[in-house]
Amino acid sequence: MSGANLQVDEDGRLRHFLSIEGLNRGLLTEILDTAESFAGVTAQTVKKVPLLRGKTIVNLFFEASTRTRTTFELAAKRLSADVLNINVDASSATKGETLLDTLRNLEAMHVDMFVVRHAESGAAHFIARNVEPHVSVINAGDGRHAHPTQAMLDMFTIRRVKGPDFGRLRVAIVGDILHSRVARSQIHALNLLNTGEVRVVAPKTLTPIHVETLGVRPYHDLCEGIRDCDVVIMLRLQRERMQGALLPSEHEYYRLFGLTEERLSVAKPDVTVMHPGPINRGVEMDSRVADGPHSVILEQVTHGIAVRMAVMSMAMRQQDRTLEDGA
C-alpha cells in the first residue's frame, strides 16, 4: 500500500499526504522549504496569511491527540481556513454510523480537507480513495503504519539544527520501533533525504523482523547504538499497542534503554536529542536529558505548525487547480 498514485497528480504535485513512501526527495525538500517560509509567519505578531481563506478543514480524530490536533488546528487558522474539530469517539461512531457515512455527511457540508487520525492502519488511504476529487486528505497518524507530518517536522528540526546535508549525519531512532508509526515514517524520510547512516536501537522484542530491509542498522544495546551519533530520536513505549509480555517491566526497560546524561556522552559532543512526545519521563529518558541542553523537543512542537501549514497549503494549491480545470 504505497499510496503513490493517490498522493501525487500526474505532474508530481501533492494531492493528499498519506505516507512518506511513494514521495520523492524533491517533494520532501519542497515541503521543508515551504515550511521554512512559514516559520517566519508563526513567529510574527500578526500570525495569519490568507492562503486558505474560505476553505473548510475538518480535523477528524478517531484517536486521542493533543500536540498533533492542536498544531494542525493552529496551522489551518494561520492559513485563514475555517476549522472544525470532530472527535469521533464521542460522536457518530458510537451511534453505529459507518466511516463512509460520516464522510459523506461532512462532504455534504462542503469540506475541502480532512485531517485524519485513526487507530487502524490504512484509514487515511481509505478515506482518500472515497472523497470527492477536489477534497484533500492528510494523514495525522494511522495505526502502526505512518505519521508523515511528524516525520517531516522532525526532518525540518534536524535540518535547522544540523544544516541541509543529511549525508554527513548518523541518526539513531531508539525505543519501541515495532509499534511506532513515527519510526516507520522517519526511516523513509531519512533515507529519501540520503542520511549517512540510520540506526534503530531497541530490545529484540520491540524490533520489527527484517528491519534491515528498510535501510537501517539494528542495535540491541543503547550505548553501542547511539555511539558517535549526531541525532538521537527517542520514542515512547506504546503500551496501548503491546499484546502479551514484550517487556519485563518499565523499570527494567529504563535500566537497559533509558537515556541518561551519562549514556548520552558516548554520542557526538554536539548531539541533538529529539522525541515526538508524549514523553514517559523515567521510562525512555531521564528528565535531565529531556530538559537538557541537547534537547530540541519543544522546538519540534513549534516546527509542527510551519510544517503542517506547508503540507496543507501545497495539497490545497493542487486541489484548486483540479477545481479550475473542472470549471
Footprint on this chain of ligand NCD (rule: CB under 6 A): 67-68, 141, 147, 150, 181-182, 236, 276-277
C-beta closer to ligand NCD: residue 78 or 147: 147
C-beta closer to ligand NCD: residue 68 or 207: 68
CA quadruple 268, 39, 149, 196: dihedral sign: negative
**Residue 283 corresponds to which cell in the numbers above?**
521510562
Instruction: Render 134-149 in DSSP notation, one character per residue.
Output: T-EEEEEEETTTB-HH
Smallest distance from ligand NCD to CB 61, Å = 11
C-alpha span between 57 and 27 (Å, rounded): 22
Strand partners, 8: 14
Smallest distance from ligand NCD to CB 300, Å = 9
C-beta closer to ligand NCD: residue 31 or 177: 177
Using CB atoms, what's the residue nearest to ligand NCD? 236
Instruction: Render 214-246 in DSSP notation, one character per residue.
Output: GS-EEESSHHHHHTT-SEEEE----GGG--S-S
C-beta closer to ligand NCD: residue 8 or 146: 146
Smallest distance from ligand NCD to CB 98, Å = 24
Smallest distance from ligand NCD to CB 151, Å = 10
**Residue 295 corresponds to which cell in the numbers above?**
534537547
- C-alpha 186, offset from chain centre: 8
Other beta carbons within 10 angstroms of residue 27's beta carbon come to: 19
Smallest distance from ligand NCD to CB 310, Å = 17
Cα dihedral: 316, 320, 326, 327 (round 10): 150
C-beta closer to ligand NCD: residue 122 or 276: 276
